[in-house]
Structure 1
Amino acid sequence: MAFWLIKTEPGSWSWDDQVRKGVEGWDGVRSHQAAKNLRTMQIGDQAFFYHSVNEKRIVGIVEVVREAYPDPTDASGKFVQVDFKTVKPLPSPVTLADIKADPRFADLALLRQSRLSVMPIDASSWAAICQMGRVSP
């Protein structure tokens, strides 16, 4: 199993929206690197659900339930989407400031490539962030 972080603007698609829907396609990704990451995902992989813009915090965990397929919002046919199901919220959301303050995360893509919307998370960082969020990995 691999681990990921997916970013969303809560005004467009929030954790509450994800919880209400249960399973939803992650569409609208137009970065080639982020799309490559979507194509790499496999059923059972998990991802942190990150609220960007003003909140800048990890609020929940989702799981891949359908691997990459054509994104119907992309007229060019170049981009894909992945379906995620809601797994659980983080009882204590982990902020970007918390992650920046912790030296264990110095190499995390979230800090190195801050504009990337879909990124891998290594297993030790996943476990540490889960601990910070008070959820079992």
Structure 2
Amino acid sequence: MPYWLMKSEPDELSIHDLKRLAKARWDGVRNYQARNFVRSMQPGDQFFFYHSSCPQPGVAGIGQIEGEPYPDPTALDPQSPYHDAKASAEKNPWSARDVSFVEAFREVLPLGAIKAAAGLEELALVQRGSRLSVMPVTDEQWNIILGLAKR
């Protein structure tokens, strides 16, 4: 089963929000490579829920992909910060996914700890210049991060 890491600003959607909601729409991805990852996910795939653009960025828990990708409605909403003026109902290049809650970690695993961990040097998250909001995680990387988070 492929694994993923997906970033969200916690004031928009946090792991605790997802726990409360049980299921939510993951939308607003506006990078073509990240969008392609969103489209390639399969129902049941798990992802690290990463809190970004906040005082303590890091892995906060685990979520799961539900269902199939569908056109991202935020691209068509002029009031949304993710509005895309070039998108239309007939031609919407952006995709959203439904995700569900699996687990919240006791504490956020900080980015610094991820960067310092042996075996995570190739993780896209720690690569210089990488700003992807959705990225694949290998089985080995998954196990290392999971081990660090559960200490």
Identity %: 39
TM-score with structure 2 setting the length: 0.85
**What displacement does 1:10 show?**
0.9
Q: Which runs of 5+ in 1 are unaligned?
A: none
Q: Distance in 2 between matches of 1:122 and 1:92?
A: 22
Secondary structure in structure 2 of the residue aligned to 1:105? coil
Q: Which stretch has the larger CA shift, 39-48 or 87-96?
A: 87-96
Query: Contact 1:92/1:132 (CA < 8 Å) preserved in 2?
Result: no
Q: Give how far 1:92 is off.
A: 3.8
1:126 alignment counterpart = 142
Structure possessing the higher radius of gyration over alpha carbons: 2
Question: What SS does structure 2 have at the residue aligned with 1:103?
Answer: coil
- Pairwise CA distance, 1:114: 3.4
Deviation at residue 134 of structure 1 after TM alignment: 0.9
Q: Which position in structure 1 is the counterpart of 2:121?
A: 106
Residue type of the alignment partner of 1:39: R
User: Aligned letter for 1:108?
Assistant: L
> What root-mean-square deviation, in Å, do the aligned CA atoms of Structure 1 and Structure 2 show?
1.3
Note the C-alpha offset of 1:86: 0.1
Once superposed, which parts of structure 1, at least 4 consecutive aligned residues long, lie more than 2 Å away? none
Counterpart of 1:8 in structure 2: which amino acid? S
Alignment length (residue pairs): 135
- SS of alignment partner, residue 16 of structure 2: helix
- The runs of 5 or more residues in structure 2 that have no matched partner are 77-86
Q: Distance in 2 between matches of 1:19 and 1:81?
A: 19
Question: Please, which moves more after superposition, 9-18 or 78-87?
Answer: 9-18
* One-letter code aligned to 1:110: L
